[in-house]
Structure 1
């Protein structure tokens, strides 16, 4: 494990045992593909995508490892993409993996290939190959790494592939019965923690941010994936078209805990109730 010198990913700050307990990983860890796959699956199954802090009126979502670890690992909350990547990068750094970060332009639900590159994930180098390791895209995202190669494919209950566009951009696709869904396009230009701070500020404060005006919760579990956007709940099951349901205010308020496993403090529940009620 990487326990001698610190890096920009702050692996030395991670309580690795606490993280492994949080995601339910009971085996050993090493800088190998088996561990990478196991941690990826465990993380997405245990930690939901959660933008609730933005809706609770918090003017900052800190991205330092200590704050992210306190929220996600010790308090048992979820986190949005940038928080989860900060945590995952620190964990991989602590174990001894070699990796870089990149930014992707989300396409699903927008259809826009040229929107801001707000999604961040990791490319892990192992035995001369690179693996796309993305634990924070939520209900449509990968459940284990996929090799970064033209026409790479990940098959199973949830299937994905990677295609390369003439521009050179890679596109990750979720292969659904109703047809492939383009999740995001990306290049492999390296991004750094300082870049995350700028993206975090946009997501939290910009009027065109998709994350600061309605509840967005997502979780992947064996056999079912859930996505709540506002009051519309999407349920995705293997081999079936996505099912949608409109939640009433009571259902929406209880959804964080009952559907996504997020326990909020009583004061936060009251604030969220007022937010859902509107002006």
Structure 2
């Protein structure tokens, strides 16, 4: 990613500060990204496409056309931005275990950044219950934007396994786990294809859009719009394709031509 593209990307996020190799700056970049660029799967569920993971294609879609994407798109582009800005980055493949009883497959991409001899998980492509900021990969409990997470690092024959839990109704529940080692783009290509084509994929059959805001959270799942703002929740049902297009533009900043 060249300097001009980095500037466009940063402007798209609405970030106005300096770029510094500090946890504070990285955390602000994550928050800016989450508040400006939505998680969305419209290419898959509406157009039945397998999203391109080519960096130039992602830049054109997400930055130039002001769309969103899912984890393989958003976290790849953010990875390229951080790398171009001089951060020490590594991509990791993750099992999302939130509220699952059976073993979850590797179907999520995120980034590990090393700063000041510490490692942090950066994830701008989870949506929903995912942590809204940096997660330090060190044993302990951490408050992130008013929510509590617990990290447990387990030694293994590789580079160690990280388990991240989230507090829900007073108890911790496992949210994700991953081996703290580099994953390859070839692996993500397979995951990306599976999530787009498998009938078992939560994202292949219905729209799932999510945008975090300073006041709360916005989501559109199938035909239901949920707006959480300052502790209050408003739910609306969509009655037409045109109404959904209006909601996509108003609440998520997405302008996509109707199929009607």
TM-score by length of 2: 0.87
Structure 1: 5+ residue stretches without partners: 1-10, 272-279
Other-structure match for 1:43: 33
Correspondence for 2:15? 25
Question: Cα distance 1:254–1:162, how it changes in 2: closer, same or farther (>3 A)?
Answer: farther
Q: Which moved more, 1:156-165 or 1:60-69?
A: 156-165
Q: Could you tell me whether the CA contact under 8 Å between 1:48 and 1:218 is conserved in 2?
A: yes
Determine if contact 1:227/1:235 at 8 Å carries over to the other structure: yes
2:134: which partner in 1? 145
* Aligned CA distance change for structure 1 residues 79 and 179 (closer, same or farther; 3 Å): same
Cα deviation code 1:222-273 (max 9, x no counterpart): 02112332224445567x5x958461323545432222221112xxx225xx
Q: Is the 8 A contact 2:225 2:238 kept in 1?
A: no
In 2, Cα distance between the equivalents of 1:67 and 1:79?
A: 12
Distance in structure 1 (CA, Å) of the matches to 2:245 and 2:166: 29
Helix, strand or coil: the match of 1:249? coil
In 1, the alpha carbon distance for the partners of 2:191 and 2:206 equals 18
In 2, the alpha carbon distance for the partners of 1:160 and 1:38 equals: 19
Counterpart of 1:125 in structure 2 is 114
Over the aligned positions, Cα root-mean-square deviation in angstroms equals 2.6
Contact 2:223 2:237 in 1 (8 A): yes
User: What CA distance in whole angstroms lies between the structure 1 residues aligned with 2:204 and 2:225?
Assistant: 18
Q: Which piece of structure 1 moves more, 74-83 or 185-194?
A: 185-194
- Cα drift, residue 60 of structure 1: 2.6
Separation in 2 of the partners of 1:178 and 1:262?
36
Q: Note closer, same or farther for the CA distance 1:244–1:237 as it changes in structure 2 (3 Å cut).
A: closer
Distance of 2:3 and 2:101 partners within structure 1: 38
More strand by share: 2
Tell me whether 199-208 or 65-74 shows the greater mean CA deviation. 199-208
For residues 45-102 of structure 1, give each alpha carbon's deviation from its aligned partner in whole angstroms, at most 9, with x where no partner exists. Answer: 1111010001222433111110001011110001111000111011011011112111
The TM-score normalised by the length of structure 1 is 0.81
| Secondary structure of the corresponding residue to residue 259 of structure 2 | helix
SS in 2 for 1:50: coil
Gap change, CA 1:236 and 1:141, over 3 Å in 2: farther
Q: CA deviation at 1:196?
A: 1.5
Give the corresponding residue for 1:86. 76
SS in 2 for 1:39: helix
CA distance in 2, matches of 1:159, 1:236: 19
Query: Is the CA contact 2:141–2:148 (under 8 Å) kept in the aligned structure 1?
Result: no
Could you tell me which runs of 5 or more consecutive residues in structure 2 were left unpaired when the two chains were aligned. none
Q: Count residues with an aligned counterpart.
A: 255
1:16-39 per-residue CA deviation (whole Å, 9 max, x = no partner) reads 110010000112213332321121
Task: Name the counterpart of 1:162.
Answer: 151
